[in-house]
Structure 1
Amino acid sequence: MNTTDVPLYQPEWLELREGADAAARDVELLDPLRGWLEDAGRPGGLVIHDLGCGTGSMGRWLAPRLPGPQHWVLYDRDPALLGRAAARTPAVTADGSGVTVLTRRADLGELAAEDLAGASLVTASALLDVLTRDEVDALVAACAEAGCPVLLALSVVGQVELSPADPLDGEIAEAFNAHQRRGGLLGPDAVMVASEAFALRGATVRVHSSPWRLGAGESALTAQWLQGWVEAACEQRPVLAPRAEAYLRDRLAACAAGELRVAVHHSDLLALPGTTGGAS
Protein backbone atom coordinates (compact mmCIF):
# COMPACT_ATOMS: atom_id res chain seq x y z
CA MET A 1 0.00 0.00 0.00
CA ASN A 2 1.03 3.55 -0.58
CA THR A 3 -0.67 6.91 -0.61
CA THR A 4 -0.56 7.28 -4.39
CA ASP A 5 -2.51 4.09 -5.13
CA VAL A 6 -6.00 4.13 -6.59
CA PRO A 7 -8.52 4.11 -3.70
CA LEU A 8 -9.53 0.62 -2.57
CA TYR A 9 -13.17 1.62 -2.12
CA GLN A 10 -15.41 4.03 -3.95
CA PRO A 11 -17.38 6.45 -1.76
CA GLU A 12 -20.65 5.32 -3.35
CA TRP A 13 -20.08 1.76 -2.12
CA LEU A 14 -19.14 2.97 1.36
CA GLU A 15 -22.26 5.12 1.53
CA LEU A 16 -24.45 2.24 0.31
CA ARG A 17 -23.23 -0.15 2.99
CA GLU A 18 -23.28 2.28 5.93
CA GLY A 19 -26.78 1.40 7.11
CA ALA A 20 -26.09 -2.33 7.06
CA ASP A 21 -22.76 -1.77 8.82
CA ALA A 22 -24.42 0.28 11.55
CA ALA A 23 -27.09 -2.37 12.11
CA ALA A 24 -24.49 -5.16 12.20
CA ARG A 25 -21.88 -3.77 14.62
CA ASP A 26 -22.12 -5.47 17.99
CA VAL A 27 -23.23 -3.02 20.68
CA GLU A 28 -22.54 -5.53 23.46
CA LEU A 29 -18.81 -4.89 23.07
CA LEU A 30 -19.35 -1.27 24.06
CA ASP A 31 -20.07 -2.04 27.73
CA PRO A 32 -16.64 -3.55 28.48
CA LEU A 33 -15.04 -0.84 26.35
CA ARG A 34 -16.80 1.94 28.28
CA GLY A 35 -15.82 0.26 31.56
CA TRP A 36 -12.16 0.13 30.58
CA LEU A 37 -12.14 3.74 29.40
CA GLU A 38 -13.86 4.89 32.59
CA ASP A 39 -11.34 3.03 34.74
CA ALA A 40 -8.47 4.47 32.71
CA GLY A 41 -9.74 7.97 33.53
CA ARG A 42 -8.16 9.82 30.61
CA PRO A 43 -8.08 13.53 31.54
CA GLY A 44 -9.29 15.87 28.84
CA GLY A 45 -11.43 13.29 27.06
CA LEU A 46 -10.81 10.51 24.57
CA VAL A 47 -8.36 10.48 21.67
CA ILE A 48 -9.67 7.98 19.11
CA HIS A 49 -7.63 6.85 16.10
CA ASP A 50 -9.81 5.58 13.22
CA LEU A 51 -7.71 3.54 10.78
CA GLY A 52 -8.85 3.38 7.16
CA CYS A 53 -11.76 5.65 8.01
CA GLY A 54 -13.31 5.78 4.53
CA THR A 55 -16.24 8.20 4.63
CA GLY A 56 -16.20 8.16 8.45
CA SER A 57 -19.01 5.70 9.17
CA MET A 58 -17.29 4.30 12.26
CA GLY A 59 -17.08 7.76 13.80
CA ARG A 60 -20.73 8.46 13.04
CA TRP A 61 -21.68 5.20 14.73
CA LEU A 62 -19.32 5.25 17.71
CA ALA A 63 -18.92 8.90 18.74
CA PRO A 64 -22.55 9.27 19.88
CA ARG A 65 -22.26 6.04 21.90
CA LEU A 66 -19.28 7.10 24.05
CA PRO A 67 -19.46 9.93 26.61
CA GLY A 68 -17.11 12.83 27.17
CA PRO A 69 -15.08 15.07 24.86
CA GLN A 70 -13.56 13.25 21.91
CA HIS A 71 -10.73 14.01 19.51
CA TRP A 72 -10.82 11.80 16.42
CA VAL A 73 -7.70 11.19 14.33
CA LEU A 74 -8.80 9.90 10.93
CA TYR A 75 -6.44 7.87 8.71
CA ASP A 76 -6.94 7.06 5.05
CA ARG A 77 -4.80 7.11 1.94
CA ASP A 78 -7.53 8.85 -0.10
CA PRO A 79 -7.68 12.61 0.61
CA ALA A 80 -11.18 12.87 -0.83
CA LEU A 81 -12.46 10.28 1.63
CA LEU A 82 -10.66 12.02 4.48
CA GLY A 83 -12.42 15.25 3.57
CA ARG A 84 -15.82 13.57 3.54
CA ALA A 85 -15.17 11.85 6.84
CA ALA A 86 -14.01 15.00 8.60
CA ALA A 87 -16.96 17.02 7.34
CA ARG A 88 -19.47 14.47 8.58
CA THR A 89 -18.04 13.61 11.99
CA PRO A 90 -20.71 14.05 14.69
CA ALA A 91 -20.52 17.35 16.55
CA VAL A 92 -21.39 15.93 19.97
CA THR A 93 -20.89 12.74 21.98
CA ALA A 94 -23.26 10.65 24.11
CA ASP A 95 -23.39 13.26 26.88
CA GLY A 96 -23.39 16.33 24.62
CA SER A 97 -19.64 16.98 24.84
CA GLY A 98 -17.83 18.27 21.77
CA VAL A 99 -15.89 16.44 19.06
CA THR A 100 -12.76 17.65 17.26
CA VAL A 101 -11.15 16.05 14.20
CA LEU A 102 -7.67 15.70 12.70
CA THR A 103 -6.98 13.93 9.39
CA ARG A 104 -3.85 12.03 8.40
CA ARG A 105 -3.20 10.76 4.89
CA ALA A 106 -1.20 7.65 5.67
CA ASP A 107 -0.12 4.18 4.61
CA LEU A 108 -1.41 1.89 7.34
CA GLY A 109 1.23 -0.67 6.42
CA GLU A 110 3.76 1.69 7.97
CA LEU A 111 1.81 2.54 11.13
CA ALA A 112 4.10 2.69 14.17
CA ALA A 113 3.56 2.95 17.90
CA GLU A 114 4.64 6.60 17.91
CA ASP A 115 1.76 7.40 15.54
CA LEU A 116 -0.63 6.20 18.26
CA ALA A 117 1.04 7.98 21.17
CA GLY A 118 -1.60 9.27 23.57
CA ALA A 119 -4.41 7.24 22.01
CA SER A 120 -7.34 6.28 24.22
CA LEU A 121 -8.79 3.92 21.61
CA VAL A 122 -7.86 2.58 18.19
CA THR A 123 -10.70 1.53 15.93
CA ALA A 124 -11.35 0.44 12.37
CA SER A 125 -14.13 -1.05 10.30
CA ALA A 126 -13.82 -3.63 7.50
CA LEU A 127 -10.03 -3.39 7.64
CA LEU A 128 -8.51 -6.55 9.11
CA ASP A 129 -9.43 -8.87 6.24
CA VAL A 130 -7.56 -6.78 3.64
CA LEU A 131 -4.27 -7.00 5.57
CA THR A 132 -1.46 -9.56 5.45
CA ARG A 133 -0.23 -11.44 8.50
CA ASP A 134 2.80 -9.14 8.75
CA GLU A 135 0.56 -6.07 8.58
CA VAL A 136 -1.74 -7.43 11.29
CA ASP A 137 1.25 -8.27 13.50
CA ALA A 138 2.62 -4.74 13.03
CA LEU A 139 -0.78 -3.20 13.79
CA VAL A 140 -1.23 -5.29 16.92
CA ALA A 141 2.30 -4.47 18.10
CA ALA A 142 1.74 -0.74 17.62
CA CYS A 143 -1.57 -0.84 19.49
CA ALA A 144 -0.10 -2.94 22.30
CA GLU A 145 2.76 -0.47 22.76
CA ALA A 146 0.25 2.40 22.83
CA GLY A 147 -1.51 0.59 25.69
CA CYS A 148 -5.04 1.33 24.56
CA PRO A 149 -8.14 -0.72 23.70
CA VAL A 150 -8.73 -1.70 20.08
CA LEU A 151 -12.15 -2.14 18.47
CA LEU A 152 -12.02 -3.70 15.00
CA ALA A 153 -15.45 -4.14 13.44
CA LEU A 154 -16.93 -6.00 10.48
CA SER A 155 -14.17 -8.37 9.40
CA VAL A 156 -15.41 -11.04 7.00
CA VAL A 157 -15.26 -14.62 8.26
CA GLY A 158 -15.95 -16.53 5.03
CA GLN A 159 -19.55 -17.52 5.66
CA VAL A 160 -22.49 -16.41 3.51
CA GLU A 161 -26.08 -17.68 3.57
CA LEU A 162 -28.57 -17.04 0.78
CA SER A 163 -32.27 -17.89 0.85
CA PRO A 164 -33.63 -19.51 -1.18
CA ALA A 165 -30.51 -21.64 -1.57
CA ASP A 166 -28.90 -22.51 -4.91
CA PRO A 167 -26.54 -25.41 -5.69
CA LEU A 168 -23.86 -22.95 -6.86
CA ASP A 169 -23.81 -20.94 -3.61
CA GLY A 170 -21.08 -23.05 -2.02
CA GLU A 171 -18.76 -22.99 -5.03
CA ILE A 172 -19.08 -19.22 -5.38
CA ALA A 173 -18.41 -18.75 -1.66
CA GLU A 174 -15.36 -21.03 -1.74
CA ALA A 175 -13.88 -19.21 -4.74
CA PHE A 176 -14.61 -15.81 -3.18
CA ASN A 177 -12.84 -16.84 0.04
CA ALA A 178 -9.83 -17.95 -1.99
CA HIS A 179 -9.86 -14.56 -3.72
CA GLN A 180 -9.88 -12.85 -0.32
CA ARG A 181 -6.67 -14.72 0.54
CA ARG A 182 -4.84 -13.80 -2.68
CA GLY A 183 -1.35 -12.34 -2.43
CA GLY A 184 -0.99 -13.26 1.23
CA LEU A 185 -4.04 -11.36 2.45
CA LEU A 186 -5.69 -12.91 5.48
CA GLY A 187 -9.28 -12.56 4.32
CA PRO A 188 -11.54 -14.83 6.42
CA ASP A 189 -8.62 -15.82 8.67
CA ALA A 190 -7.92 -12.27 9.84
CA VAL A 191 -9.98 -12.28 13.04
CA MET A 192 -8.39 -15.52 14.27
CA VAL A 193 -4.88 -14.26 13.49
CA ALA A 194 -5.48 -10.88 15.12
CA SER A 195 -7.08 -12.47 18.20
CA GLU A 196 -4.06 -14.70 18.72
CA ALA A 197 -1.67 -11.79 18.22
CA PHE A 198 -3.47 -9.61 20.78
CA ALA A 199 -3.68 -12.48 23.28
CA LEU A 200 0.06 -13.14 22.96
CA ARG A 201 0.61 -9.53 24.03
CA GLY A 202 -1.49 -9.96 27.16
CA ALA A 203 -4.77 -8.47 25.94
CA THR A 204 -8.22 -9.72 26.84
CA VAL A 205 -9.89 -10.44 23.51
CA ARG A 206 -13.62 -10.62 22.84
CA VAL A 207 -15.03 -11.58 19.44
CA HIS A 208 -18.73 -11.17 18.64
CA SER A 209 -20.70 -11.93 15.51
CA SER A 210 -21.80 -8.92 13.42
CA PRO A 211 -23.62 -10.19 10.32
CA TRP A 212 -25.23 -8.19 7.59
CA ARG A 213 -28.83 -9.39 7.31
CA LEU A 214 -30.10 -8.17 3.97
CA GLY A 215 -33.70 -8.40 2.82
CA ALA A 216 -36.11 -6.57 0.54
CA GLY A 217 -35.32 -3.24 2.20
CA GLU A 218 -31.64 -3.52 1.30
CA SER A 219 -32.04 -4.60 -2.33
CA ALA A 220 -29.66 -1.96 -3.71
CA LEU A 221 -26.87 -3.06 -1.38
CA THR A 222 -27.63 -6.73 -1.96
CA ALA A 223 -27.44 -6.30 -5.75
CA GLN A 224 -24.12 -4.44 -5.54
CA TRP A 225 -22.71 -6.99 -3.12
CA LEU A 226 -23.86 -9.90 -5.30
CA GLN A 227 -22.16 -8.52 -8.38
CA GLY A 228 -18.88 -7.99 -6.55
CA TRP A 229 -19.08 -11.38 -4.83
CA VAL A 230 -19.64 -13.30 -8.06
CA GLU A 231 -17.10 -11.22 -10.02
CA ALA A 232 -14.37 -11.91 -7.46
CA ALA A 233 -15.21 -15.62 -7.44
CA CYS A 234 -14.95 -15.82 -11.22
CA GLU A 235 -11.71 -13.85 -11.22
CA GLN A 236 -10.30 -16.44 -8.84
CA ARG A 237 -11.76 -19.44 -10.71
CA PRO A 238 -12.60 -18.53 -14.32
CA VAL A 239 -14.09 -22.00 -14.89
CA LEU A 240 -17.11 -20.81 -12.89
CA ALA A 241 -17.93 -18.00 -15.33
CA PRO A 242 -20.38 -19.81 -17.68
CA ARG A 243 -22.56 -21.05 -14.82
CA ALA A 244 -22.07 -17.92 -12.75
CA GLU A 245 -23.53 -15.69 -15.46
CA ALA A 246 -26.94 -17.38 -15.28
CA TYR A 247 -26.65 -17.67 -11.49
CA LEU A 248 -26.07 -13.95 -11.10
CA ARG A 249 -28.90 -13.08 -13.47
CA ASP A 250 -31.35 -15.23 -11.48
CA ARG A 251 -30.11 -13.92 -8.14
CA LEU A 252 -30.43 -10.29 -9.23
CA ALA A 253 -33.97 -10.95 -10.50
CA ALA A 254 -34.92 -12.45 -7.12
CA CYS A 255 -33.31 -9.50 -5.37
CA ALA A 256 -35.27 -6.99 -7.48
CA ALA A 257 -38.48 -8.89 -6.70
CA GLY A 258 -37.78 -8.70 -2.95
CA GLU A 259 -37.52 -12.50 -2.72
CA LEU A 260 -33.84 -12.88 -1.78
CA ARG A 261 -32.45 -12.90 1.75
CA VAL A 262 -28.71 -12.79 2.41
CA ALA A 263 -26.64 -13.08 5.57
CA VAL A 264 -23.01 -12.01 5.17
CA HIS A 265 -21.19 -12.97 8.34
CA HIS A 266 -18.58 -10.75 9.99
CA SER A 267 -16.96 -10.55 13.40
CA ASP A 268 -16.20 -7.59 15.68
CA LEU A 269 -13.09 -7.83 17.83
CA LEU A 270 -12.40 -5.92 21.06
CA ALA A 271 -8.93 -6.17 22.62
CA LEU A 272 -8.48 -4.69 26.09
CA PRO A 273 -4.92 -4.21 27.38
CA GLY A 274 -3.84 -6.37 30.25
CA THR A 275 -3.12 -3.35 32.46
CA THR A 276 -5.90 -0.79 32.90
CA GLY A 277 -4.79 2.66 31.85
CA GLY A 278 -2.03 1.60 29.49
CA ALA A 279 0.34 4.23 28.14
CA SER A 280 -0.49 7.87 28.53
Structure 2
Amino acid sequence: MTAFAPDWLALREPADAAARAADLVDTLRAHLPGGDLVVRDLGCGTGSLGRWLAGRLPGAQRWILHDSDAGLLERARTSLPSAALDGSPVAVEAEQGDVTALRAADLAGTSLVTASALLDLLTKAEVTALATAIAEAGCAALLMLSVTGKVELSPADPLDPALSAAFNAHQRRLTGGRRLLGPTAVDVAATAFGRLGATVVRAESAWRLGPDQAELQRQWLEGWVGAAVEQLPELRPVSDVYLQRRVEMAAAGELHAVVHHGDLLVLPPSLGAAA
Protein backbone atom coordinates (compact mmCIF):
# COMPACT_ATOMS: atom_id res chain seq x y z
CA MET A 1 0.00 0.00 0.00
CA THR A 2 1.10 3.54 -0.74
CA ALA A 3 2.31 5.67 2.18
CA PHE A 4 1.08 9.26 2.43
CA ALA A 5 2.79 12.18 4.14
CA PRO A 6 0.89 13.57 7.15
CA ASP A 7 1.31 17.13 5.82
CA TRP A 8 -0.44 16.19 2.57
CA LEU A 9 -3.25 14.45 4.44
CA ALA A 10 -3.72 17.53 6.65
CA LEU A 11 -3.76 19.85 3.63
CA ARG A 12 -6.43 17.87 1.82
CA GLU A 13 -8.64 17.22 4.88
CA PRO A 14 -10.89 20.30 4.51
CA ALA A 15 -11.46 19.53 0.81
CA ASP A 16 -12.23 15.92 1.69
CA ALA A 17 -14.70 16.99 4.36
CA ALA A 18 -16.49 19.37 1.99
CA ALA A 19 -16.65 16.75 -0.76
CA ARG A 20 -17.99 13.76 1.15
CA ALA A 21 -21.61 12.86 0.44
CA ALA A 22 -23.27 13.71 3.75
CA ASP A 23 -26.62 12.44 2.42
CA LEU A 24 -25.22 8.91 2.60
CA VAL A 25 -24.71 9.36 6.33
CA ASP A 26 -28.38 10.33 6.70
CA THR A 27 -29.35 7.07 4.97
CA LEU A 28 -26.85 5.11 7.05
CA ARG A 29 -28.22 6.48 10.34
CA ALA A 30 -31.70 5.34 9.37
CA HIS A 31 -30.53 1.77 8.84
CA LEU A 32 -27.99 1.14 11.58
CA PRO A 33 -29.12 -1.23 14.30
CA GLY A 34 -29.66 0.09 17.80
CA GLY A 35 -27.08 -0.22 20.54
CA ASP A 36 -23.38 0.53 20.58
CA LEU A 37 -21.57 0.79 17.26
CA VAL A 38 -18.31 -0.91 16.35
CA VAL A 39 -16.69 0.93 13.44
CA ARG A 40 -13.59 -0.29 11.60
CA ASP A 41 -11.85 2.41 9.54
CA LEU A 42 -9.59 0.83 6.92
CA GLY A 43 -6.49 2.68 5.76
CA CYS A 44 -7.33 5.38 8.27
CA GLY A 45 -4.29 7.61 7.69
CA THR A 46 -4.34 10.36 10.29
CA GLY A 47 -8.02 9.73 11.08
CA SER A 48 -9.68 12.25 8.76
CA LEU A 49 -12.78 10.16 8.12
CA GLY A 50 -13.21 9.36 11.80
CA ARG A 51 -12.98 13.04 12.72
CA TRP A 52 -15.65 13.79 10.12
CA LEU A 53 -17.99 10.87 10.81
CA ALA A 54 -17.94 10.02 14.53
CA GLY A 55 -19.81 13.19 15.49
CA ARG A 56 -22.41 12.54 12.80
CA LEU A 57 -23.44 9.15 14.19
CA PRO A 58 -25.48 8.67 17.38
CA GLY A 59 -24.81 6.24 20.19
CA ALA A 60 -21.72 4.96 21.92
CA GLN A 61 -19.03 4.07 19.40
CA ARG A 62 -15.92 1.92 19.44
CA TRP A 63 -13.64 2.85 16.54
CA ILE A 64 -10.96 0.37 15.48
CA LEU A 65 -8.47 2.08 13.18
CA HIS A 66 -6.53 0.02 10.65
CA ASP A 67 -3.41 1.14 8.81
CA SER A 68 0.01 -0.24 7.96
CA ASP A 69 1.76 2.96 9.12
CA ALA A 70 2.33 3.06 12.90
CA GLY A 71 2.99 6.80 12.92
CA LEU A 72 -0.25 7.63 11.13
CA LEU A 73 -2.15 5.25 13.39
CA GLU A 74 -0.93 7.03 16.52
CA ARG A 75 -1.93 10.42 15.11
CA ALA A 76 -5.36 9.04 14.26
CA ARG A 77 -5.89 7.28 17.58
CA THR A 78 -5.47 10.49 19.55
CA SER A 79 -7.43 12.81 17.25
CA LEU A 80 -10.97 11.45 16.94
CA PRO A 81 -13.76 13.26 18.78
CA SER A 82 -14.63 11.95 22.22
CA ALA A 83 -18.39 12.31 21.79
CA ALA A 84 -20.95 11.08 19.30
CA LEU A 85 -23.82 13.06 17.76
CA ASP A 86 -25.95 12.59 20.88
CA GLY A 87 -23.08 13.04 23.34
CA SER A 88 -22.42 9.33 23.82
CA PRO A 89 -18.79 8.33 24.31
CA VAL A 90 -16.45 7.47 21.45
CA ALA A 91 -13.62 5.03 22.22
CA VAL A 92 -10.70 4.54 19.85
CA GLU A 93 -8.12 1.80 19.37
CA ALA A 94 -5.63 0.99 16.64
CA GLU A 95 -4.60 -2.16 14.78
CA GLN A 96 -1.53 -2.05 12.55
CA GLY A 97 -1.58 -4.36 9.56
CA ASP A 98 -2.53 -5.00 5.95
CA VAL A 99 -6.19 -4.11 5.40
CA THR A 100 -6.34 -6.32 2.30
CA ALA A 101 -5.84 -9.36 4.52
CA LEU A 102 -9.04 -8.80 6.53
CA ARG A 103 -11.69 -11.48 6.20
CA ALA A 104 -15.18 -12.01 7.59
CA ALA A 105 -13.89 -13.52 10.84
CA ASP A 106 -11.82 -10.38 11.46
CA LEU A 107 -14.96 -8.24 11.04
CA ALA A 108 -17.14 -10.28 13.40
CA GLY A 109 -19.16 -7.96 15.64
CA THR A 110 -18.50 -4.93 13.42
CA SER A 111 -21.43 -2.59 12.76
CA LEU A 112 -19.80 -0.47 10.06
CA VAL A 113 -16.70 -0.62 7.87
CA THR A 114 -15.41 2.71 6.62
CA ALA A 115 -12.65 3.82 4.28
CA SER A 116 -11.63 7.00 2.52
CA ALA A 117 -9.47 7.27 -0.63
CA LEU A 118 -8.70 3.55 -0.44
CA LEU A 119 -10.55 1.56 -3.10
CA ASP A 120 -8.64 3.03 -6.06
CA LEU A 121 -5.38 1.79 -4.51
CA LEU A 122 -6.59 -1.81 -4.50
CA THR A 123 -6.78 -4.55 -7.13
CA LYS A 124 -9.95 -6.19 -8.39
CA ALA A 125 -9.15 -9.31 -6.36
CA GLU A 126 -8.57 -7.25 -3.20
CA VAL A 127 -11.82 -5.30 -3.60
CA THR A 128 -13.74 -8.50 -4.28
CA ALA A 129 -12.24 -10.13 -1.18
CA LEU A 130 -13.06 -7.07 0.93
CA ALA A 131 -16.64 -6.99 -0.36
CA THR A 132 -17.00 -10.69 0.43
CA ALA A 133 -15.66 -10.20 3.95
CA ILE A 134 -18.03 -7.31 4.62
CA ALA A 135 -21.03 -9.13 3.17
CA GLU A 136 -20.32 -12.34 5.07
CA ALA A 137 -19.87 -10.37 8.30
CA GLY A 138 -23.25 -8.72 7.72
CA CYS A 139 -22.05 -5.17 8.39
CA ALA A 140 -22.68 -1.91 6.58
CA ALA A 141 -19.91 -0.07 4.74
CA LEU A 142 -19.28 3.58 3.92
CA LEU A 143 -16.49 3.82 1.33
CA MET A 144 -15.71 7.39 0.36
CA LEU A 145 -13.58 9.53 -1.95
CA SER A 146 -12.42 7.02 -4.56
CA VAL A 147 -11.11 8.74 -7.68
CA THR A 148 -13.27 8.32 -10.78
CA GLY A 149 -10.86 9.76 -13.33
CA LYS A 150 -12.66 12.96 -14.28
CA VAL A 151 -10.95 16.31 -13.76
CA GLU A 152 -12.30 19.69 -14.85
CA LEU A 153 -9.93 22.66 -14.90
CA SER A 154 -11.07 26.20 -15.61
CA PRO A 155 -9.86 27.91 -17.67
CA ALA A 156 -9.19 24.87 -19.86
CA ASP A 157 -5.82 24.16 -21.46
CA PRO A 158 -5.13 22.12 -24.64
CA LEU A 159 -2.87 19.77 -22.62
CA ASP A 160 -5.52 18.91 -20.04
CA PRO A 161 -6.94 15.84 -21.85
CA ALA A 162 -3.52 14.25 -22.52
CA LEU A 163 -2.38 14.72 -18.93
CA SER A 164 -5.68 13.43 -17.57
CA ALA A 165 -5.51 10.30 -19.72
CA ALA A 166 -1.90 9.62 -18.71
CA PHE A 167 -2.71 10.15 -15.02
CA ASN A 168 -5.65 7.74 -15.22
CA ALA A 169 -3.43 5.16 -16.89
CA HIS A 170 -0.92 5.63 -14.06
CA GLN A 171 -3.69 5.02 -11.53
CA ARG A 172 -4.37 1.67 -13.24
CA ARG A 173 -0.68 0.71 -13.39
CA LEU A 174 0.90 -2.62 -12.53
CA THR A 175 3.04 -2.19 -9.41
CA GLY A 176 4.63 -4.89 -7.29
CA GLY A 177 2.68 -7.47 -9.24
CA ARG A 178 -0.61 -5.72 -8.43
CA ARG A 179 -2.82 -4.13 -11.10
CA LEU A 180 -4.47 -1.16 -9.39
CA LEU A 181 -8.10 -0.31 -10.09
CA GLY A 182 -7.69 3.46 -10.11
CA PRO A 183 -10.75 5.18 -11.66
CA THR A 184 -12.63 1.88 -12.13
CA ALA A 185 -12.67 1.11 -8.40
CA VAL A 186 -16.13 2.48 -7.62
CA ASP A 187 -17.75 0.50 -10.44
CA VAL A 188 -15.88 -2.69 -9.51
CA ALA A 189 -16.80 -2.36 -5.83
CA ALA A 190 -20.45 -1.57 -6.54
CA THR A 191 -20.71 -4.60 -8.81
CA ALA A 192 -19.01 -6.88 -6.28
CA PHE A 193 -21.31 -5.84 -3.45
CA GLY A 194 -24.39 -6.04 -5.68
CA ARG A 195 -23.58 -9.62 -6.65
CA LEU A 196 -23.43 -10.48 -2.96
CA GLY A 197 -26.97 -9.23 -2.40
CA ALA A 198 -26.14 -5.94 -0.72
CA THR A 199 -27.94 -2.67 -1.37
CA VAL A 200 -25.50 -0.17 -2.87
CA VAL A 201 -26.14 3.58 -2.85
CA ARG A 202 -23.74 5.73 -4.89
CA ALA A 203 -23.02 9.45 -4.67
CA GLU A 204 -20.67 12.00 -6.19
CA SER A 205 -18.01 13.53 -3.93
CA ALA A 206 -15.97 16.01 -5.92
CA TRP A 207 -13.24 18.30 -4.68
CA ARG A 208 -14.14 21.85 -5.76
CA LEU A 209 -10.98 23.88 -5.46
CA GLY A 210 -11.03 27.63 -5.86
CA PRO A 211 -8.80 30.65 -5.26
CA ASP A 212 -8.72 30.12 -1.48
CA GLN A 213 -7.06 26.72 -1.91
CA ALA A 214 -4.00 27.68 -3.92
CA GLU A 215 -1.58 25.52 -1.90
CA LEU A 216 -3.76 22.44 -2.25
CA GLN A 217 -4.12 23.19 -5.95
CA ARG A 218 -0.33 23.46 -6.26
CA GLN A 219 0.43 20.21 -4.50
CA TRP A 220 -2.36 18.37 -6.28
CA LEU A 221 -1.14 19.69 -9.66
CA GLU A 222 2.42 18.60 -8.93
CA GLY A 223 1.25 15.10 -8.09
CA TRP A 224 -1.18 14.94 -11.00
CA VAL A 225 1.33 16.09 -13.60
CA GLY A 226 4.15 14.06 -12.03
CA ALA A 227 2.15 10.84 -12.24
CA ALA A 228 1.14 11.59 -15.82
CA VAL A 229 4.76 12.11 -16.86
CA GLU A 230 5.88 8.99 -15.01
CA GLN A 231 3.32 7.06 -17.03
CA LEU A 232 4.06 8.82 -20.34
CA PRO A 233 7.59 10.29 -20.30
CA GLU A 234 7.17 11.88 -23.73
CA LEU A 235 4.96 14.47 -22.03
CA ARG A 236 7.91 15.83 -20.08
CA PRO A 237 9.05 18.47 -22.62
CA VAL A 238 5.69 20.25 -22.36
CA SER A 239 4.69 19.33 -18.82
CA ASP A 240 7.17 21.59 -17.01
CA VAL A 241 5.89 24.70 -18.75
CA TYR A 242 2.30 23.55 -18.27
CA LEU A 243 2.82 22.98 -14.54
CA GLN A 244 4.52 26.34 -14.04
CA ARG A 245 1.68 28.08 -15.86
CA ARG A 246 -1.00 26.29 -13.84
CA VAL A 247 0.72 26.89 -10.50
CA GLU A 248 1.07 30.59 -11.30
CA MET A 249 -2.63 30.73 -12.11
CA ALA A 250 -3.47 29.03 -8.81
CA ALA A 251 -1.29 31.48 -6.87
CA ALA A 252 -3.04 34.37 -8.62
CA GLY A 253 -6.47 33.01 -7.74
CA GLU A 254 -7.30 32.37 -11.39
CA LEU A 255 -7.65 28.57 -11.39
CA HIS A 256 -10.65 26.43 -10.51
CA ALA A 257 -10.44 22.65 -10.33
CA VAL A 258 -13.10 20.00 -9.90
CA VAL A 259 -11.60 16.61 -9.08
CA HIS A 260 -14.30 13.96 -9.16
CA HIS A 261 -14.60 11.12 -6.65
CA GLY A 262 -17.28 8.61 -5.81
CA ASP A 263 -18.78 7.46 -2.50
CA LEU A 264 -20.51 4.16 -1.79
CA LEU A 265 -22.90 3.21 1.00
CA VAL A 266 -23.32 -0.54 1.29
CA LEU A 267 -26.13 -2.09 3.33
CA PRO A 268 -26.31 -5.86 3.85
CA PRO A 269 -29.64 -7.58 3.13
CA SER A 270 -30.60 -7.41 6.81
CA LEU A 271 -30.34 -3.59 6.74
CA GLY A 272 -30.94 -2.58 3.14
CA ALA A 273 -34.44 -3.74 2.32
CA ALA A 274 -36.00 -0.27 2.70
CA ALA A 275 -33.04 1.81 1.51
TM-score (norm 2): 0.96
Distance 1:236 1:191 in 2: 22
* Cross-structure match for 2:117: 126
Matched, 1:81 2:72: yes
Q: How does 1:105-254 map to 2 (within 5 A)?
A: 105-183=96-174, 184-254=179-249
CA-atom RMSD, angstroms? 1.2
Matched, 1:100 2:95: no
Question: Which residue identity does 2:258 align to in structure 1?
Answer: A
Calculate percent identity across the aligned residue pairs.
Answer: 58
* Cross-structure match for 1:62: 53
For residues 62-85 of structure 1, give each alpha carbon's deviation from its aligned partner in whole angstroms, at most 9, with x where no partner exists.
000001100000000000000000
Mark the runs of 5 or more structure 1 residues left unpaired by the alignment: 2-6
1:276 is displaced (CA, Å) by 2.7
Question: Which residue identity does 2:78 align to in structure 1?
Answer: A
Question: Which residue identity does 1:248 align to in structure 2?
Answer: L
Question: Which residue identity does 2:42 align to in structure 1?
Answer: L
Question: Secondary structure of the equivalent of 2:58?
Answer: coil
Distance 1:191 1:109 in 2: 16
* Cross-structure match for 1:28: 23
Question: Secondary structure of the equivalent of 1:61?
Answer: helix
Question: Secondary structure of the equivalent of 1:276?
Answer: helix
Distance 1:64 1:151 in 2: 15
Question: Secondary structure of the equivalent of 2:269?
Answer: coil
Question: Secondary structure of the equivalent of 1:102?
Answer: strand
Decide which of 221, 246, 252 is 1:257's aligned counterpart: 252
Distance 2:100 2:112 in 1: 19
Matched, 1:46 2:37: yes
Matched, 1:269 2:260: no
TM-score (norm 1): 0.94
Question: Which residue identity does 1:215 align to in structure 2?
Answer: G
Give the ranges of 4+ consecutive aligned residues of structure 1 lying more than 4 Å apart after TM superposition: none
For residues 256-275 of structure 1, give each alpha carbon's deviation from its aligned partner in whole angstroms, at most 9, with x where no partner exists.
10100000000100011112
Distance 1:92 1:109 in 2: 30
1:145 is displaced (CA, Å) by 1.0
Distance 2:85 2:100 in 1: 32
Distance 2:224 2:198 in 1: 34
1:197 is displaced (CA, Å) by 0.3
Matched, 1:8 2:19: no
Question: Secondary structure of the equivalent of 1:53?
Answer: coil
* Cross-structure match for 1:4: none
Distance 2:99 2:64 in 1: 13
For residues 22-52 of structure 1, give each alpha carbon's deviation from its aligned partner in whole angstroms, at most 9, with x where no partner exists.
0000011112211110xx22x3x10000000
For residues 221-242 of structure 1, give each alpha carbon's deviation from its aligned partner in whole angstroms, at most 9, with x where no partner exists.
1100000000000000000000
